[in-house]
Structure 1
Amino acid sequence: MILVLNAGSSSLKIELFDHGLTSVVSGAVTNIGTQGELKLGDARQEVTAVDHAAALAAMLGALDKAGHPISALDAAAHRVVHGGTILTQPARLTTSVIKTIESVVPLAPLHNPNNLAGIYALQHAAPDLPQYCSFGTAFHAANPEVAIRYAIPKTQHDAGIRRYGFHGLSYANMVAEFGADLPHRLLAFHLGNGASLCAILDGKSYATSMGYSPLSGLTMGTRSGDIDGAAVLRMSKAFGEDETDRLLNNASGLKALAGDNNMKTLLARDDPDAKFAVEHFCYWAARHAGSALVAMGGLDAVAFTGGIGENATPVRDRIMELLACFGDVPVHIVTADEEKQIARDALTLIAKGQ
């Protein structure tokens, strides 16, 4: 059994897989730090977990009662958002790897500390259990230098200001799910509250819409997507750095255009703001797609994943209508499953004796 953990700021999600990558059970502890809920399969119970360690202890206890004691686990695997320029492949968690994850916290200050909290908690609870990690940025490490470098002074580039890309685990899972049927030049969309696209050439990322942070690229649920740096500077002077960060990450995108970041709700509305927000989302997805097609030299197929990508047929249809100038190509829908990819990565490393 492989236990996959995804530690967020106030939640701890888990999923248990067997060695055939079949999901056995999934669950979560919510509202860490206050009264929350522990969910495991169909079971629910109220819990109060003061921190990630307490949340993990409660989850391990629930797994034990459900017939999955920690002694039955072969390994655990964690989602880590950012691996920087060093951690570009899945890895077994060692002291060195953990120190590197800690060193890139400034690149993902809202995510890596939470991911590390889950790692620390499990190390304390089960020090002899092998632990592995997979990185959301790693899939894009194959991007050529011209795709990742901003035209800024080398000192800033060397300090880490460059394009990294995100949603890499989702794209890696998509490639694995295609298997031998993977198209040569695949335009992949991960569309959800966070949205991005990726030019996948022979199974490798050649360009992606997100950059230094998940803010850039497509219009998203609450993120602005691409915005001129001078506009950000003006906003920062007017509102301060923290408020500008909040505005661009939490109060922009669909929410700013139509007062709601739920695509299902927007599609059901008939007012001009909702229609414009949906069109904005589709237009910029297709417009960014044009640059991705240049990066991989053409197009053989399109694939959609993520909550919107999988479920919002009108959005998929509109994006494909805007891309019709590139020819008629197959369109695929792939279920998003980052947890499965993390388990797959861990099993691959175990098979190699790592």
Structure 2
Amino acid sequence: MTDAILTINAGSSSIKFAAYEIATAGLRPLARGHIDDIGDDTTFTAAPADGPAERQPIDASKGAVDHRSALELAVDWLHRHEDGCHVVAVGHRVVHGGPDHAEPVVIDDGTLLRLRKFVPLAPLHQPHNLAGIAAALHAFPDAAQVACFDTAFHRQHPFIADTFGLPRRLYDEGVRRYGFHGLSYEYVSRRLRSVAPMLASGRVIIAHLGNGASVCALRDGRSVASTMGFTALDGLPMGTRCGQLDPGVVLYLLTEKGMSPDEITHLLYHDSGLKGLSGLSNDMRELEASHAPAAREAIDYFVARVRREIAGLAATIGGVDAIVFAGGIGEHAFRVREQILGDMGWLGVDLDRDANARNAQTVSLPDSRVAVLVIPTDEDRMIAEHTAEILGLIHSAADSTRLTD
């Protein structure tokens, strides 16, 4: 019988899962999969660690797939393909941990009650994260359940990076900048310590660019400031989310356009960002392939905002030694990376355009004062490591990184 950790990353329209064997040398990948477009032309793709990913059939006679049934599909597949796999712990990505959760926690009734209070702060993700926990508690009643928070990595921010220019009582009540994508940043930071330890101990800016996007400044592996704030709307424009917005726009939509809070929420979370700007798509690949002027303008706006945030965060940490790209856009959209950094010699960046076009790990020239790297993120692996560490299933973070990813 193989003891394993299962990770669940339940998003608004997708679920990612992965399984890891708890081995002597650390965590060994067993399988992973993803279920996309939940509720609308749902697809299910899964693979054992040593095999190719394959599309899995979905029984259409059972009706539309929701998050609960999607999780059941994942669990059923795992039982069929990993015979003898005994899930002893389940690690969950939870987007919002509020002001008090600076590290993962073992889930109990009190934890669930506290996390439900943060649903209004992350309405696109938190309800689905909690649904994933509920399904896992039902499927694995004897397994330990661990919540790993996207906000936890940023909890040591200084006050000036954590607050708004609002009355102090609101800060004390929890209205503050939380930052998100922390699991991704922490994983990339750990990987950077492995591939370039001297850089990792310095001033690093990580750009997590995907359907959700943000930038984070780190010093010696610790988050100092992030572009996301009170909710996952702030900062960069994203696939469907607006990014930084003058709060007066929201007041205008309320008072002059007569929009309801629900209508404004839908606009800002679902109809803005690259999708809203282009009028075409939230997918960077489709926008890059399009000849429509609006697609080009959407990309240009995205690039301009990333450049502005990188420059601002460099000022926050007193310069920069390395810039790291992660996420779907950050790892694969080499033209976007070139637009962002191609003329940033003033910051010390000399881009190697050939290496960048190959999506190499290092895409800066050898004599560049600022190193530029592409490091694929792996939030599932980070969740598994946290789960194993808090339960004492592996000795330390160092043990879990000895394994070849």
TM over 0.5: yes
Q: For the residues of structure 2 that align with 1:352 and 1:62, how far apart are their CA atoms?
A: 25
Deviates more, 1:310-319 or 1:257-266: 257-266
Q: For the residues of structure 2 that align with 1:208 and 1:75, how far apart are their CA atoms?
A: 31
Please state how far the C-alpha of 1:280 moved relative to its aligned partner: 1.2
Q: For the residues of structure 2 that align with 1:9 and 1:252, how far apart are their CA atoms?
A: 16
SS across alignment from 1:115: helix
Q: For the residues of structure 2 that align with 1:228 and 1:300, how far apart are their CA atoms?
A: 32
Q: For the residues of structure 2 that align with 1:221 and 1:104, how far apart are their CA atoms?
A: 23
- Equivalent position to 2:230, from 199, 212, 224: 212
C-alpha deviations, 1:191-219, integer Å up to 9, x for none? 11211100011101100001111111112
Structure 1 regions of 5+ residues with no counterpart? none
Structure 2 regions of 5+ residues with no counterpart? 48-53, 350-369, 396-405
**Between structures 1 and 2, the one with greater helix share:** 1
Q: CA RMSD in A?
A: 2.4
Q: For the residues of structure 2 that align with 1:302 and 1:199, how far apart are their CA atoms?
A: 9
Q: What are the within-5 Å matches in structure 2 for residues 38-53 of structure 1?
A: 38-41=44-47, 42=54, 44-47=56-59, 48=62, 52-53=67-68
CA 1:122/1:275 → structure 2, altered by over 3 Å: closer, same or farther? closer
Q: Does 1:304 align with 2:325?
A: yes
Contact 1:63 1:69 (C-alpha < 8 Å) held by counterparts: no
Which residue of structure 1 lines up, in the alignment, with residue 19 of structure 2? 16
C-alpha deviations, 1:27-77, integer Å up to 9, x for none? 24556668855443225121347754444344323222213456x223111
Q: For the residues of structure 2 that align with 1:33 and 1:320, how far apart are their CA atoms?
A: 39
CA 1:192/1:35 → structure 2, altered by over 3 Å: closer, same or farther? closer
Contact 1:147 1:206 (C-alpha < 8 Å) held by counterparts: yes
Q: What are the within-5 Å matches in structure 2 for residues 67-216 of structure 1?
A: 67-69=82-84, 72-180=86-194, 181=197, 182-216=200-234
Which residue of structure 2 lines up, in the alignment, with residue 62 of structure 1? 77
- Equivalent position to 2:251, from 229, 233, 253: 233
Stretches of 4+ aligned residues off by more than 6 angstroms: none
Please state how far the C-alpha of 1:257 moved relative to its aligned partner: 2.5
Q: For the residues of structure 1 that align with 2:292 and 2:67, how far apart are their CA atoms?
A: 43
CA 1:106/1:333 → structure 2, altered by over 3 Å: closer, same or farther? same
Please state how far the C-alpha of 1:93 moved relative to its aligned partner: 1.6
Contact 1:215 1:225 (C-alpha < 8 Å) held by counterparts: yes
Q: Does 1:314 align with 2:327?
A: no
C-alpha deviations, 1:72-125, integer Å up to 9, x for none? 223111111100011120122223322221232232233222211221222122
Q: TM-score, normalised by structure 2?
A: 0.80
Which residue of structure 2 lines up, in the alignment, with residue 27 of structure 1? 33
Q: What are the within-5 Å matches in structure 2 for residues 275-294 of structure 1?
A: 275-294=296-315
SS across alignment from 1:308: helix
Contact 2:227 2:309 (C-alpha < 8 Å) held by counterparts: yes
C-alpha deviations, 1:208-231, integer Å up to 9, x for none? 001111111112222221111112
Contact 1:283 1:322 (C-alpha < 8 Å) held by counterparts: no
Please state how far the C-alpha of 1:314 moved relative to its aligned partner: 1.3
Count of residue pairs the alignment pairs up: 353
SS across alignment from 2:208: strand
